[in-house]
């Protein structure tokens, strides 16, 4: 397929009329063809009009038809073959195995949402049947289902050009919920975005759906993004990226005459607690696991372990020593974009200049453009507590080790943390009691708690939570990864005393979809009818 | 029990140090003793400190203990006997049967939440078991449950001194979720609030719970309210009241360093569609139902039918004629407070002076203070579409009938409506096709759709939705009535590779709570263990 550099509005391709974006190969700093001229407010208007026109028809597709559509997207992405992987490698500097894995994850994620759609539990059907004889007042027949919020704007992330981008988790879950989607492509991988966007558009056509179910826009600066979030036909926003970017979208969404929810996954430093016995028993193994997780993908993960917390002492010294050796041997790695590389350098420089922290180790120096050098810093709890800037996210392979003088100080450090995506506990049996005592604090701080693992690597499954209290995300009640992500794009509607012929399929008396409804207070166990 | 006029902070009673509020008997305009001196920011601080201290213990109470506590509250409220009803009558002007019914509803609501707590479905337990052999990467053991957001601030409503007040739906659902609650009493019924607040505090004590689980504050003006919503330990807000009041709380909640969700139920005019055949066949019966719903409780319901939409013609003329006769015979009714009465008068005067509407009927004149006179206005669709002020809520027994020239105009009127709590369809068999065509629009506009009923009267059950798109509420994804209200106060946490001994009870391998978990993608049907 030849890349066109065009916007995709429904089934139509259009050339933008704003500044041209080029993908850049971060390994060489060389721009990639074609250029992508940005869209304008009028392009946003067209895409929103199409999405709105598609809404009522798309949201009433059968569960089977919607699931098939989502599976068709996965098939179309796989059919792109090496062209997709090659282009993504060129635009991101990520190695082939990583991108092959990410493509697999993206397609598995789509297929998992297809299963979720078919199972229909997200419809949360509740039926309270009429009680005409009830005293003092009869009860009406009341039936509840979930319907989609409406068209959703999705902002692709820089660091997952497939799994958190055009057909990533936000798009998959919004489409699964029955919401048309308009994606604003991330400027770091416009060609990858075009390839995937066209795959989605082919699936829309192949499944005979209204074209407005999917559009893909480009734009440098914030014109397209703010116009999208401000359009009255957009009813929710999915975003993965920086804190400043997320906050700008939230502000725009709240300034609307009708405010809308923004699901922004923003910043997290993912504290790792090393408990005393674990540290005592296996400082070196912990250092190996830590450095592997920290430097994976040049540290460019939302779940990168940016903070380590432990009691001061010989065991922690051993961990720091082993970490230092491993970091010093770590090669510099090409980062995703010159912008991300520069931001990482600034963050590391700020830590290096901060008198409350010292550099414990730095990785090998860069030999090529945009290569990030791993860094580990050490500070004391008192310094950490005194300087909020030490918990700012440094997006890349940088981490701060906080040495605590007491268990009480560990708790203090935890209580002062901002909201996090993850918190990790490394513990042995002797540590269980202390870990148990800290659990309530950790539950209040993070969306996912791990024991004896590392936070990088986010499984796509039913039980995953990729979310957490602000500023990890803008809405701690939700997850952006895993099947519960569909719940973000739904709202309940109750139907009172409807004649059966007027009820939507999932609420009809005969239960034609064989849903396990909450029927008069009891969960249906078999797939029985009323 | 002697009313004290004091704040209730945990188990402690304290006298406020701000302006004194008196309940006022609206039937006589006479103030009621005692006075309630308002709390200050320091009282908010004390209540929040206690709530925070109670959080981790309260949220880990067993389902059975929490359910018992909620049932104990219901018992304590019933034990207040006539004193509660007498005081509520004096403070609100509402008749005894209504308050007896509201007390019954309030206690039934508490008991329903106790059942919901015990059933445990709100925990939404999801388990994905480990797959150590999976290629290319093993899968961890992942388990998800819901935990409470944290302490919740509840703002009581004026129009339901029991069911939407101190121990109303917001408090019941927040306590059910495991959140400590701090109530800001509505100034219209401080004595009723004190009685119920003390009943809740007795239940806290009787159940051996930490005292910070419940506090009750008073305050005129916005000092207490804004301080509460701004306190970092408050993690969510429940509010039922005016649009301006709700928007002020939302603004304060969003201005926090950590923004929090506000569940504000604000304004709705609850459109009623009269379809052609129904109108033709039973104009008079419809008028009777309409006037009964409109004038119920002096029209002081969020679900009051404030808008009627129908095709112009003889059948609608007959409906308007019958409505006019009934309204003219409607006695004026004492409204809840002088403030609400004055606001109603202003709204009615604004409609009366609006050249785009005409008065069709006015009820009997007032003979006593604060009596609202029912009003029905008539306008044409073109006028309604041209003047947004015609869809402003007039809280009280006032409604606007919109005459449409065509089905297309009916659709236009519906599409231009703001978000609503309810939309009602009156239809006969011949109307089904037209109703079906309008359903997608109505679903997008309202949280509850009714056929051949009236929107006043909100059943407390599993399937109820008392919610809807902005400005009906601030969060269309939720309901403030019915068991799904508990979902507002929860967030998911994922536990990865936890040893069984460290897992919370509901996530343990053996499934000791016999929950129907989502286990490896399948809903457990029997209450089996792994």
Which among A48, A107, A179, A302 is annotated as catalytic?
Answer: A302
User: Phi/psi at A327 (nearest 5 deg)?
Assistant: -65, -45
Distance CA A370, CA A391 (A): 24
Q: Which residues of B touch A126 (CB under 8 A)?
A: 462-463, 484
* Section A229-240 average pLDDT: 98
Q: Does A121 map to a domain?
A: yes
What is d(CA A61, CA A57) in angstroms, rounded to the nearest whole number?
A: 7
Indicate if B294 and B227 belong to the same structural domain: no
Predicted confidence (pLDDT) at residue A220 exceeds the cutoff of 90:
no
DSSP tally for chain B: helices H, then strands E: 14, 23
Q: In this predicted complex, what is the ipTM?
A: 0.98
Scanning every residue of chain B, which has its alpha carbon at the shortest distance from the alpha carbon of A140? B459
B478-488 pLDDT tens trace: 999 999 999 99
Are residues B383 and B436 both part of a single domain? yes
pLDDT digits (tens, 9 = 90+) for B149-167: 999 999 999 999 999 999 9
> What per-residue confidence (pLDDT) applies to B525?
78
Candidates B136, B258, B502; nearest CB to A451: B502
Pair B224, B217: CB distance under 8 Å? yes
Q: Please give the Cα distance from A501 to B186 (Å, whole number).
A: 44
Question: In the structure, what pLDDT confidence band is assigned to residue B6 with cuts at 50, 70 and 90?
Answer: very high
Residue A101: partners with Cβ closer than 8 Å, 6 or more residues away:
B136
- Same domain membership, residue A96 and residue A29: yes
Q: What are phi and psi of B381, to 5 degrees?
A: -55, -40
Contact B58, B52 (CB under 8 A): no
Q: What sign for the dihedral angle of Cα A494, A497, A502, A508? A: positive
pLDDT value at B187 more than 70: yes
Q: Is residue A265 annotated as a catalytic residue, yes or no?
A: yes
Structural contact between residues B169 and B481, judged by C-beta atoms closer than 8 angstroms: yes
> Quick one: what percent of chain B has pLDDT higher than 70?
99
pLDDT in tens, B195-248: 999 999 999 999 999 999 999 999 988 899 999 999 999 999 999 999 999 999
Q: Please provide the average confidence, as pLDDT, over all residues in chain B.
A: 97
pLDDT at position A526: 59
Counting the structural domains of chain A, the total is 2
* Secondary structure of A84-118 in HEC code, one letter for each residue: HHHHHHHHHCCCHHHHHHHHHHHHHHHHHHHHHHH
Residue B302 bears catalytic tag: yes
Contact B153, B180 (CB under 8 A): no
pLDDT for res A62: 98
Burial of B65 per CB tally in 10 Å (0-12, 13-18, 19+): middle
Residue ranges of A 291-320 with Cβ closer than 8 A to chain B: none
Please give the pLDDT value at position B529: 43
Q: Which of A147, A439, A451 is nearest residue B499 as measured by Cβ atoms? A: A451
Cis check for the bond before B157: say yes or no (omega within 30 of 0): no
Instruction: Please tell me the predicted confidence (pLDDT) of residue A529.
Output: 43
Strand A307-311 versus strand A398-404 pairing type: parallel
User: Are B37 and B16 spatial neighbours (Cβ–Cβ below 8 Å)?
Assistant: yes
Q: Based on the fold, state whether residues A315 and A261 are members of the same structural domain.
A: no
Q: What is the pLDDT of residue A527?
A: 55
Residue B110 falls inside a structural domain: yes
Query: Angle at the Cα of B443 (from B281 to B117), degrees rounded to 5?
Result: 115
* Number of alpha helices (DSSP H) and beta strands (DSSP E) in chain A: 14, 25
- B239 and B314 share one domain: no
Catalytic residue among B48, B107, B179, B302: B302
- Cα B93 to chain center, whole Å? 21
Which residue of chain A has the CA closest to B497? Answer: A451
Give tens-digit pLDDT for B395-415.
Answer: 999 999 999 999 999 999 999
Q: What is the pLDDT of residue B530?
A: 42
Q: Is residue B62 part of a domain?
A: yes
- If asked whether residues B308 and B239 sit together in one domain, one would say no
Residues 54-83, chain B, touching A (beta carbon < 8 A): 56, 59-60
Q: Is the pLDDT reported for residue A528 higher than 80?
A: no
**B296 and B432 belong to one structural domain:** yes
Burial (0-12, 13-18, 19+ Cβ within 10 Å), A86: middle
Beta strands A271-274 and A333-334 are unpaired
Residue A313 CB partners (closer than 8 Å, separation 6+): none
Determine phi and psi for A494, rounding to 5 degrees. Answer: -105, 135
* CATH code for the domain of A376: 3.40.309.10
- Give the whole-angstrom CA distance, residue B250 versus residue B364: 39
A438 vs A427: CA distance, rounded Å:
12
CATH number, residue B234:
3.40.605.10
So what's the pLDDT on residue A530? 43
Write the DSSP string, A420-474: EEEEEEE--GGGHHHHHHHHHHHHHHEEEEEESS-S-----SSS-----TTTTBS
Whether the pLDDT of residue A525 is over 90: the answer is: no
**Higher pLDDT residue, B235 or B135?**
B235
A327, part of any domain: yes
Q: Say if residue B292 is in the same domain as residue B198.
A: no
Beta strand B126-128 pairing with B518-519: parallel
Judged by a CB distance cut-off of 8 A, whether residue A527 touches chain B is no
The Cα of A383 is separated from the nearest Cα of chain B by a number of Å equal to 22
Strands B142-148 and B490-496: antiparallel
Contact (Cβ atoms closer than 8 angstroms) between residue A99 and residue A142: no
Domain that holds residue A335: 271-451
CB A116 within 8 A of CB A483: yes
Question: Span B281-305, mean pLDDT?
Answer: 98
DSSP A404: E
User: Does residue B521 lie within any of the structural domains?
Assistant: no
Paired tokens of B247:
């928007």
Residues 6+ positions from A408 with CB-CB distance below 8 Å: none
Q: What is the DSSP letter of B302?
A: T
Q: Which residues pair with residue B523 across a beta bridge?
A: B518
* pLDDT over 90, % of chain A: 97
- Beta bridge mates, B9: B12, B215
Q: Which residue of A has its CA nearest to B60?
A: A440
Closest CB to A448: pick one of B60, B467, B496. B496
| Statement to judge: residues A366 and A400 lie in one domain | yes
In a domain, A530, yes or no: no
Q: Do A462 and B126 count as a contact with CB atoms less than 8 A apart?
A: yes
Q: Are residues A249 and A358 in the same domain?
A: no
* B469 belongs to a structural domain: no
At residue A162, the pLDDT reads: 98
Q: A122-159 in b/e burial notation, b at 16+ Cβ within 10 A?
A: bbbbbbbeeeeeeeeeeebbbbbbbbbbbbbbbbbbbb
Alpha carbon distance A221, A41 (integer Å): 12
Q: Is the pLDDT of residue B340 over 50?
A: yes
Could you tell me if residue B390 is inside a domain?
Answer: yes
Q: Are residues B281 and B188 in the same domain?
A: no
User: pLDDT > 90: what percent of chain B?
Assistant: 97
pLDDT tens, A353-365?
999 999 999 999 9
| Structure confidence by residue, pLDDT tens digits, A369-405 | 999 999 999 999 999 999 999 999 999 999 999 999 9
Residue pLDDT, tens place only, B10-62: 999 999 999 999 999 999 999 999 999 999 999 999 999 999 999 999 999 99
Same domain, B336 and B405: yes
Q: What is the mean pLDDT of chain A?
A: 97
Q: Give residues 112 to 141 of B whose Cβ lies within 8 Å of A.
A: 115, 119, 121, 124, 126-128, 136-137, 139-140
Which of chain A's residues have a Cβ under 8 Å away from the Cβ of B467?
491-492
| Residue A244, both tokens | 């400043």
What average pLDDT does the segment A142-159 reach? 97
């Amino acid at each position: 397929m030849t890349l066109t550099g065009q916007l995709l509005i429904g089934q139509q391709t259009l050339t933008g009329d704003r500044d041209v974006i080029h993908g850049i190969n971060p390994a060489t700093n060389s721009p990639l063809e074609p250029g992508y001229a940005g869209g304008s407010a009028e392009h946003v208007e067209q895409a929103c009009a199409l999405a709105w026109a598609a809404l009522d028809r798309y949201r009433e597709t059968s569960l089977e038809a919607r699931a098939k559509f989502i599976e068709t997207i996965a098939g179309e992405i796989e059919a792109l073959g090496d062209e997709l992987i090659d282009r993504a490698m060129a635009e991101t500097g990520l190695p082939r195995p990583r991108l092959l894995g990410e493509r697999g994850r993206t397609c598995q994620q789509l297929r998992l949402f297809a299963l979720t759609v078919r199972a229909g539990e997200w419809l949360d059907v509740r039926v309270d049947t009429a009680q005409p004889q009830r005293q003092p007042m009869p009860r009406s027949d009341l039936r509840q289902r979930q319907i989609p919020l409406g068209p959703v704007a999705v902002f692709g992330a820089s660091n997952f050009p497939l799994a958190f981008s055009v057909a990533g988790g936000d798009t998959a879950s919004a489409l699964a919920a029955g919401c048309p989607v308009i994606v604003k492509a991330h400027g770091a991988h416009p060609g990858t975005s075009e390839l995937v966007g066209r795959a989605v558009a082919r699936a829309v056509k192949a499944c005979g759906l209204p074209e407005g179910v999917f559009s893909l826009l480009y734009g440098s600066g914030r014109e397209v993004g703010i116009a999208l979030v401000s359009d009255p036909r957009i009813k929710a926003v999915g975003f993965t990226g920086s804190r400043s970017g997320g906050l700008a979208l939230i502000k725009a969404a709240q300034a609307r005459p009708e405010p809308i929810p923004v699901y922004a996954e923003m910043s997290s430093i993912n504290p790792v607690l090393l408990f005393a016995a674990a540290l005592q028993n296996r400082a070196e193994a912990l250092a190996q696991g830590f450095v592997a997780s920290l430097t994976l993908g040049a540290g460019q993960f939302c779940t990168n372990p940016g903070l380590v917390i432990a009691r001061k002492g010989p065991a922690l010294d051993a961990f720091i020593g082993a970490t230092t050796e491993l970091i010093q041997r770590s090669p510099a790695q090409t980062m995703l974009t010159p912008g991300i590389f520069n931001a990482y350098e600034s963050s590391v420089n700020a830590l290096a200049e901060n008198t409350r922290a010292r550099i414990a180790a730095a990785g090998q120096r860069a030999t090529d453009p945009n290569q990030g050098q791993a860094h580990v810093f050490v500070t004391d709890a008192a310094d950490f507590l005194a300087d909020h800037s030490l918990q700012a996210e440094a997006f890349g392979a940088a981490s701060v080790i906080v040495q605590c003088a007491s268990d009480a100080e560990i708790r203090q450090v935890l209580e002062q943390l901002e909201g996090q995506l993850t918190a990790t506990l490394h513990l042995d049996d002797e540590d269980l009691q202390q870990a148990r005592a800290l659990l309530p604090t950790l539950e209040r701080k993070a969306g996912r708690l791990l024991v004896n693992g590392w936070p990088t690597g986010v499984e796509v499954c039913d039980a995953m939570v990729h979310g957490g209290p602000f500023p990890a995300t803008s809405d701690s009640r939700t997850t952006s990864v895993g099947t519960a992500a569909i719940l973000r794009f739904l709202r309940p509607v109750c139907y009172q005393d409807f004649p059966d012929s007027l009820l939507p399929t999932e609420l009809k008396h005969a239960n034609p979809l064989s849903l396990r409804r909450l029927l008069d207070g009891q969960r249906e166990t078999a797939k029985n009818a009323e």
